[in-house]
Chains A and B, each alone.
Chain A
Amino acid sequence: MKKFILQILLVIASAGFAQAQTRITGKVTDLNTGEPVSYASVAVKGYATAGTFTDDNGNYTVNMPEGSTTISVSSIGYRTQEIAVSSRSIINVELEPDVAQIEESFVVAYGVTTRGSYSGAANVIKADKIQDIPVISFEQALSGSTPGIKINSTSGLPGSFPEIRIRGAGSMNAGNDPLYVIDGVPAISGDLSESNTITSSMNFLNPGDIESVTILKDAAAASLYGSRAANGVVLVTTKKGKSGKTQFRFKADIGLSDFAFDNYPLASDAETEMLHREAWTNYGSVKEGLSGTALEQYVNAKVETYYPSKKDEYVYVDWKKILFRTAVTHNYELSVSGGDDKTRFFLSGAYNKNEAVTKGRYFDRISASLNLEHKVNKHINLGAGIQFSSTDQVGHQEGGGAYDNPWWAAYGFLTWRWPAYNANGTYWKGFNNGEDPYDPNNANYRNPLINNETQITKSAQTRLLMKPWIEINIIDGLKAKTIFGYDGIYIHDKFGWLPEHANGQAYGDGFLTVKKHEYLKLVSSSTLNYNKTFASNHNFSAMIGWEAEKQSNYHDYMGKTDMISTSVISMNLMTNVYGDVTDYDDESSLLSFISSINYNYKSKYFFTATYRRDGSSRLSVNNRWGDFWSVSGSWRITNEPFMNNINWVNDLRVRTSYGISGTLPASWYYYKPFYDFDVYGNRGALFISSANNPELTWEKNISINFAIETRLFNRLNFSADFYVKRTKDLLMNASTTAISGFSSYLRNIGSMENKGVELDINVDIIKNKDIAWTAGINWTYNKNRITEMAYKGEEIIDGSYILKEGYSYSQFRTREYAGVNPETGQVQFYRNNKLADGTYNKETVNSASDANNIIIEGKTADPKGYGGINTNFRYKNLSVSLVFNYMYGHYVFDQHQDQISVDGGTSFYRPISKEQLKRWQKPGDITDVPRRMPYDRAGYYNSSRMLMKGDFIRLKNITVSYSIPKTLTKKTGLDDVRIYAAGNNIFAITDLYFDPEAPDSRGMAYRQTPPIRTISFGIEISF
């Protein structure tokens, strides 16, 4: 509109001077990209009414009045160029981007800001970093992208949820997941897994619909989200329409996936037999005193029992090939965006089909996104964002106990000598020998092929997120905005076993559970913004508002046994109700007042204060209101006059913040007594299941941040953040006075601290029209420490960890492995005897049961550093980008080793780790792997033997993209055609023998499907 008026004005103006003019034409392009710069101003110096703007293709024509000599070409985000015309009639101009000037605006809590004026710690990840990477959920594409954020995958099954930690773990019991806010609406987030499927709440969003992701890290950034912000906030902004031509964009890719790492290499058939033979030879000679033929016969018999030779009547397979596959993924997206100066829209639909590497499992998603904005008049804007998705997922149980987990079966259970089929092609169900451990009735063994076909593990999920909003410009500078958010998730989950499954038999004639889970969240927030500049130097803005939120969880559960038919899997065709049939609907609500003030003087000194008051239904009436606030400031040194002459410093600012945010209890009703139901004799009884706990409150997170940010030589961006996060009033299940009715209860006791440094460096190594090369590295160091436990000196044993003052939340505690006695090959542990002076005396013992658990000093799951290295290289239309992520200085605990590296132990019917090839064999051998000796089973016991350095660097993402030159695409009527190849988890360098990203955020590697590598090929067409 504005442009149109200007053009008319220019036409009128230029008409008046038509006679005395020379005409200059030309094209304005971007120096770095060569792309045309449209709507750049071409002014004639000294002649205000002359001048023009470039068109969509960057072309301009300007009539030079008599006497004029110079044109000035400018555009927002570029350095203005003045060019003497001389007598040229064609002047092409290459504008140099002015990065200091392009103050990218980005979304923050309840508003938008620019980098230069923001004094909080936040990082922005733009769509181009996410869109091509073959992942289901955007979080998986964030690894290595930005400092301060650590991501651990939990399962390689498609749709699974990664653990995200922003600036370390600040909580023990209340959860460490960040808050997710989508287009201003706090969304339902977290783990939506059901018994058989692992599901992230964020995988409903097609990454292609995301415009940007902002990670809020410190109190200044996050505390406006109050009692939920202590773990940081992830703000997701979806793509909006742009006015202008209606733009269609179609994107399709196909990908191939396999395991990203050669996890737990296993001994070959011949090696396995040899290792069995050696174990029994050792046993026969050392423990049974046999030799000669007697020993040989003994060994032959034992080996035949535990690793029987192959028989003609069975078919043997390579289990990994049978159970896993190169999985194929498809992804199709179509979006339309456009609009005019009153209405803009963005509409997209996507279909994403992901096979799991584990055969038979998949994750499919249909998603749609619609964003509409309409300007009613100069006062009123309104709009709505709607995201819809429907997913269909078949997974399997994860973890060690589930024989239905094919990964665990293949790597922890099946050997080269387990048959898969009988010679006649039917599934092998066990040897026909009741004594035989291979007996199918022996719960230790089931044919996973049968299990695969006879388990029911299906989960369907529908989600609708609707966010209508209205914005009213009341007077100049005063604006009101209201957003309503509706977030509904409906999960329908079926889990069970057909009668042919051993578990199905155990329940009778098959077993099925049906769960319906409905999560519903309603949010309404209204804000009033005021913006005013006083005396031209004092810029002031303020916001006040309120927010109300109600979340409901509806849950129904029913189990039945005995299937009449297996042609249709339905409750309708089953006879007996099994176990409790239950339902509940829980509600949690939050009512908040929010406000902020921003002030800056001459864009040099910035000051921000935020304040939020939250009332939560999860706390008692007298304790439910809390105050969360922050103050922050920054000084933009480059805007000081004394910096004017220092041209190589393009930008320099320091910022600091202090504030408090919180974490509410994860449990919704832990503050007052409720009655639960049970049976007394044969009649119902009510008993109190939750305590009178009026003191319960949120965890308080006090965070201090100091940072410096700079841009030098117009090439190098550098930022360093230093932070301290202290969590007070930790929510813990701590001992309490039993007179309250409970000897242990959720209380606010203890403190924890995270201290850290984040560095981020990005360099434009080459930037010109044809070649651009940038590189960056980010590094984060976070030190976690428990500073106070519930009671002085208290130690809580938490599995293989210890919670103790002065130690990390991820401090390992286990037996201390003392390696292998080089003379005997026997395993050795330390027994640590505490002496009177508090030190320990180490006694070497040969049995795990004689060793004691002890804090393994210095070994925690906290890395000494982690982060990412990224580089983008562009040559003309070809671009390549790489993202590496790395982590070092941390330890991981391998929970799987006890299955396959038991040194000849008792679990004879197992595959054997290749690690066993390094075993001790003869006196003098120096190794960490003891002799093979049945029943010694050193590896069977948790000890520091399973604790190993987790260092790795991984090529996390790679994208190669080529845009077909416009000269070619124009002929076809297309605007842009881009082909690309992208991959994630390409390779990893590590000393570990399992995927270095498989362990969880506390360094524990469980028996679950490890991460996968996907390489995809795609095309994107815009028209």
Chain B
Amino acid sequence: MKKYNINTLLSILLTSVIMLTSCSDFLDTNPTDRLPADKVKTLKDAEKIVDGFYFTMKWNNYYGTPLMLLGETRGDDLRPRRESGGYQQIYNYEFTPSNYSYGDIWATAYNVIMNVNVFLNNWESIEATSDEEIAKKNDCKGQALAVRAFCHFDIARVYGYPYQKNNGTSLGAVKGNKVFTVGEQAERISVAETYNFIINDLTEALTLLSTDRKHGNLDYWGAKGLLARVYLYKGDYDNAFKHADEILTDATNPYSLVTNAQYIDSWEQPNSSETMLELLTSAFSHIDDNGGVDSWYYILWHGEGFSSGNLVPTDSWLALLDEDPDDVRHGLVKQGTDAGVNFRWLAKFRGNNGDGDFKINNPMIMRLSEIYLIAAESALMKSSPDQNKADFYLNEIRKRANPAAVQITATVDEVLKERRKEFIGEGHRYYDSGRLGLTINRNTPDNKLPADSKYKIVDPWNAEGNQYQVILPIPQSQRTANPAAFQNPGYPD
């Protein structure tokens, strides 16, 4: 009897040991308020994850502020209104590896890339059976690839020299083709390799993406537009033209230019007919954690009883606009006054809802107008120039601004001039000068540069001179954490 008791108890004991140790699940625990990345199964989750990419891109560490700020403040379209106002650092190219208080694009872009790659790793396990579901699943992957390309493109143009400066032989991005573990190091690839990676991603994305129009997400057309832009930056005008022209000539393209009559209002109405990608904001989803106060649009806004307007259009840009008094885009510039000083400020981004809440503004990433101007420029530059197409596409934009405008013959200069007028505030100008190696003249009477500034005339290709700050440094913390990724030339290291 006693023996029996002991044996029973021992066997209970042993069984419980075996049960628990053999149960490998015992050590796999998960929280209930967060979704483990490796447990993503449903299409619905996949779509939310894809939305998450754009959610991060719109943040005030990326498109919501610094990408725009760097694209404009380094150029000649916008200038600080006052001697001090917070943007002198960027205006005067005072970049150092340890100070990137304007926003860490490097880290944010790689955060998005990591999100993409984690998703791509789990993509196969998303359940889809019907054709419709499979199409959606493919579309998710297409968006992920296109977003990844987008981020690499931004890293290349912010941290790498322009492709055409030296055929992309300088340092570009770290190739984000996988999920890096915390602490894992990797080298930078060249700008050319970065462009190849981008083009590969976009080419694959185009085979997967839906041609249905989307809002706040990339669709087939957006990705194709990005591909056209990438080829334009690369100087591959044949391909730039091919893709831009294909968009514009495809009858199924759901986008169309906003009309002259709609133009001003379209800036306070999300999802205008030509919006190919804007990032979504709302009262529940600001650009920052601060109710929108740290957004790009707050910097520009002046308005009644509100004295920001820290960056205003330059005299040279205003002169361009003033060339045609009937240009509809005059409606985007307002007269302001502060401390007895009169000035004109850019009232382009007036809030999503037309209620003047400029803190809630969808960052505009790509519009059909850009595709027109890419097509115009590349038509002139491609191996077999097509003046007719160039004239057509350029004049479409000019006539939209003023239907009475006279037809002109397209030249690259005219296209670039039109780009300045059309895209002010959308973060293109500096990169346009950069990709073509055009000097930027900021030595004008209205500049607020320090007297000894080296950057009164900016030569984005002349980094060998003393203008090494024409591209941004890799953040010092990254040089420390990832010494395999080298610093850009000229910066202290």
Chain A residue numbers with a CB within 8 Å of B94 are none
- Indicate if A480 sits at the interface (CB-CB under 8 A): yes
Q: Which of A680, A740, A791 contacts B182 (CB 8 A)?
A: A740
Give the CA-CA distance A862 to B16 in the complex, in Å: 47
- Indicate if A742 sits at the interface (CB-CB under 8 A): yes
Give the CA-CA distance A541 to B475 in the complex, in Å: 59
**Chain B 174-210 interface 0/1 with A at a Cβ cutoff of 8 Å (1 = within):** 1010011111111000000000000000000000000
- Asked if A745 and B182 make an inter-chain contact with CB atoms under 8 angstroms apart, the answer reads yes
- Asked if B477 and A735 make an inter-chain contact with CB atoms under 8 angstroms apart, the answer reads yes
- Asked if B27 and A624 make an inter-chain contact with CB atoms under 8 angstroms apart, the answer reads yes
B492 shortest CB reach to chain A, Å:
15
- Supposing A588-B29, A682-B284 touch, asked if A743 and B475 sit within 8 A by C-beta, the answer is yes
Chain A residue numbers with a CB within 8 Å of B406 are none
B residues 267-299 with Cβ under 8 Å of A? 280-282, 284-285
Closest to A624 in B: B27
- Indicate if B13 sits at the interface (CB-CB under 8 A): yes
**Chain A 671-701 interface 0/1 with B at a Cβ cutoff of 8 Å (1 = within):** 0111111111111111111111111100000
A688 shortest CB reach to chain B, Å:
5
- Indicate if B466 sits at the interface (CB-CB under 8 A): no
Give the CA-CA distance A736 to B362 in the complex, in Å: 31
Chain B residue numbers with a CB within 8 Å of A379 are 2, 5-6
Binds B, one of A86-94, A578-586, A764-772, A896-904: A578-586
- Indicate if B443 sits at the interface (CB-CB under 8 A): no
A847 shortest CB reach to chain B, Å:
21
- Asked if B181 and A740 make an inter-chain contact with CB atoms under 8 angstroms apart, the answer reads yes
Chain B residue numbers with a CB within 8 Å of A791 are 480-481
- Asked if A695 and B27 make an inter-chain contact with CB atoms under 8 angstroms apart, the answer reads no
B281 shortest CB reach to chain A, Å:
7
Closest to A528 in B: B13
- Indicate if A548 sits at the interface (CB-CB under 8 A): yes
Chain A residue numbers with a CB within 8 Å of B56 are 687
- Indicate if A878 sits at the interface (CB-CB under 8 A): no
Q: Which of A526, A550, A586, A740 contacts B183 (CB 8 A)?
A: A740
- Asked if B111 and A742 make an inter-chain contact with CB atoms under 8 angstroms apart, the answer reads yes
B356 shortest CB reach to chain A, Å:
19
Q: Which of A591, A672, A741 contacts B21 (CB 8 A)?
A: A591
- Asked if A589 and B52 make an inter-chain contact with CB atoms under 8 angstroms apart, the answer reads no
- Indicate if B114 sits at the interface (CB-CB under 8 A): yes
- Asked if A679 and B182 make an inter-chain contact with CB atoms under 8 angstroms apart, the answer reads no
A residues 508-549 with Cβ under 8 Å of B? 524, 526, 546, 548
- Indicate if B482 sits at the interface (CB-CB under 8 A): yes
Q: Report, as a range, how many residues of chain A touch the other chain.
A: 35 or more
Chain A residue numbers with a CB within 8 Å of B179 are 673, 692, 740
**Chain B 24-36 interface 0/1 with A at a Cβ cutoff of 8 Å (1 = within):** 0011111111111
Chain B residue numbers with a CB within 8 Å of A747 are 182-183
Closest to B40 in A: A675
Give the CA-CA distance A480 to B362 in the complex, in Å: 68
- Asked if B51 and A693 make an inter-chain contact with CB atoms under 8 angstroms apart, the answer reads no
Binds A, one of B102-110, B127-135, B393-401, B414-422: B102-110
- Indicate if B9 sits at the interface (CB-CB under 8 A): yes
- Indicate if B118 sits at the interface (CB-CB under 8 A): yes
- Asked if B186 and A739 make an inter-chain contact with CB atoms under 8 angstroms apart, the answer reads yes
Which of A675, A676, A747 has the largest count of B CB atoms less than 10 A from its CB?
A: A675
**Chain A 730-755 interface 0/1 with B at a Cβ cutoff of 8 Å (1 = within):** 00001111111111111100000000
Chain B residue numbers with a CB within 8 Å of A621 are 28
- Indicate if A722 sits at the interface (CB-CB under 8 A): no
Instruction: Count how many pairs of residues, one from A and one from B, have CB atoms less than 8 Å apart in the complex.
Output: 227
Closest to B44 in A: A684
- Supposing A739-B180, A740-B114, A747-B182 touch, asked if A582 and B28 sit within 8 A by C-beta, the answer is no
- Asked if B186 and A737 make an inter-chain contact with CB atoms under 8 angstroms apart, the answer reads yes
- Indicate if A482 sits at the interface (CB-CB under 8 A): yes
- Supposing A692-B182, A736-B182 touch, asked if A591 and B20 sit within 8 A by C-beta, the answer is yes
- Supposing A674-B34, A685-B52, A740-B184 touch, asked if A589 and B27 sit within 8 A by C-beta, the answer is yes
- Asked if B26 and A591 make an inter-chain contact with CB atoms under 8 angstroms apart, the answer reads yes
- Indicate if B93 sits at the interface (CB-CB under 8 A): no
Chain A residue numbers with a CB within 8 Å of B9 are 380, 470, 472
Give the CA-CA distance A734 to B480 in the complex, in Å: 11
Chain A residue numbers with a CB within 8 Å of B37 are 672-675, 688
B residues 40-54 with Cβ under 8 Å of A? 40, 45, 48-49, 51-52, 54
B269 shortest CB reach to chain A, Å:
14
Which of A548, A669, A737, A746 has the largest count of B CB atoms less than 10 A from its CB?
A: A737
- Supposing A681-B281, A683-B51, A747-B182 touch, asked if A584 and B32 sit within 8 A by C-beta, the answer is yes
Chain B residue numbers with a CB within 8 Å of A691 are 114, 181-182
- Asked if B280 and A682 make an inter-chain contact with CB atoms under 8 angstroms apart, the answer reads yes
- Indicate if A794 sits at the interface (CB-CB under 8 A): yes
Chain B residue numbers with a CB within 8 Å of A688 are 37, 52, 111, 114-115, 118
Give the CA-CA distance A680 to B55 in the complex, in Å: 5
- Indicate if B261 sits at the interface (CB-CB under 8 A): no
A residues 467-508 with Cβ under 8 Å of B? 470, 472, 474, 480, 482
Chain B residue numbers with a CB within 8 Å of A678 are 52, 55, 285
- Indicate if B216 sits at the interface (CB-CB under 8 A): yes
- Indicate if A432 sits at the interface (CB-CB under 8 A): no
- Indicate if B259 sits at the interface (CB-CB under 8 A): no
Closest to B284 in A: A679
Closest to A748 in B: B183
Give the CA-CA distance A747 to B485 in the complex, in Å: 20
- Indicate if B320 sits at the interface (CB-CB under 8 A): no
A592 shortest CB reach to chain B, Å:
10
Chain B residue numbers with a CB within 8 Å of A683 are 48, 51, 280
- Supposing A548-B20, A587-B29, A745-B182 touch, asked if A739 and B48 sit within 8 A by C-beta, the answer is no
Q: Which of B21, B35, B51, B110 contacts A739 (CB 8 A)?
A: B110
- Indicate if A617 sits at the interface (CB-CB under 8 A): yes
Give the CA-CA distance A546 to B22 in the complex, in Å: 13
- Asked if B36 and A672 make an inter-chain contact with CB atoms under 8 angstroms apart, the answer reads yes
Give the CA-CA distance A624 to B174 in the complex, in Å: 30
Give the CA-CA distance A743 to B485 in the complex, in Å: 14
**Chain B 51-67 interface 0/1 with A at a Cβ cutoff of 8 Å (1 = within):** 11011101000000000
Which of B17, B21, B27 has the largest count of A CB atoms less than 10 A from its CB?
A: B27
- Asked if B184 and A689 make an inter-chain contact with CB atoms under 8 angstroms apart, the answer reads no
Closest to B280 in A: A681
- Asked if B26 and A739 make an inter-chain contact with CB atoms under 8 angstroms apart, the answer reads no
Give the CA-CA distance A915 to B184 in the complex, in Å: 55
Chain B residue numbers with a CB within 8 Å of A293 are none
Chain B residue numbers with a CB within 8 Å of A589 are 26-27, 29
- Indicate if B478 sits at the interface (CB-CB under 8 A): yes
Chain B residue numbers with a CB within 8 Å of A159 are none
- Supposing A470-B9, A583-B33 touch, asked if A735 and B27 sit within 8 A by C-beta, the answer is no
Chain A residue numbers with a CB within 8 Å of B477 are 735, 743-744
- Indicate if B365 sits at the interface (CB-CB under 8 A): no
- Asked if A681 and B216 make an inter-chain contact with CB atoms under 8 angstroms apart, the answer reads yes
Closest to A680 in B: B55
- Indicate if A615 sits at the interface (CB-CB under 8 A): yes
Give the CA-CA distance A587 to B477 in the complex, in Å: 34
- Asked if A737 and B51 make an inter-chain contact with CB atoms under 8 angstroms apart, the answer reads no
- Indicate if B446 sits at the interface (CB-CB under 8 A): no
Closest to B175 in A: A739
- Supposing A674-B36, A693-B181, A742-B111 touch, asked if A680 and B30 sit within 8 A by C-beta, the answer is no
Interchain Cβ contacts under 8 Å between A and B, 30 examples = A379-B6, A472-B6, A482-B13, A526-B13, A546-B17, A616-B27, A621-B28, A668-B29, A674-B34, A678-B55, A679-B285, A680-B51, A680-B54, A680-B55, A681-B280, A685-B54, A686-B45, A687-B49, A687-B52, A692-B180, A695-B182, A738-B107, A738-B482, A739-B176, A740-B183, A741-B110, A742-B114, A742-B182, A743-B481, A745-B182
Beyond A472-B6, A678-B285, A735-B480, 12 additional pairs, beta carbon < 8 A: A380-B5, A588-B29, A590-B27, A679-B285, A680-B52, A681-B282, A685-B52, A687-B52, A688-B115, A691-B114, A692-B182, A738-B104
3 tightest CB-CB pairs across the interface, nearest first?
Answer: A681-B280, A741-B114, A673-B37
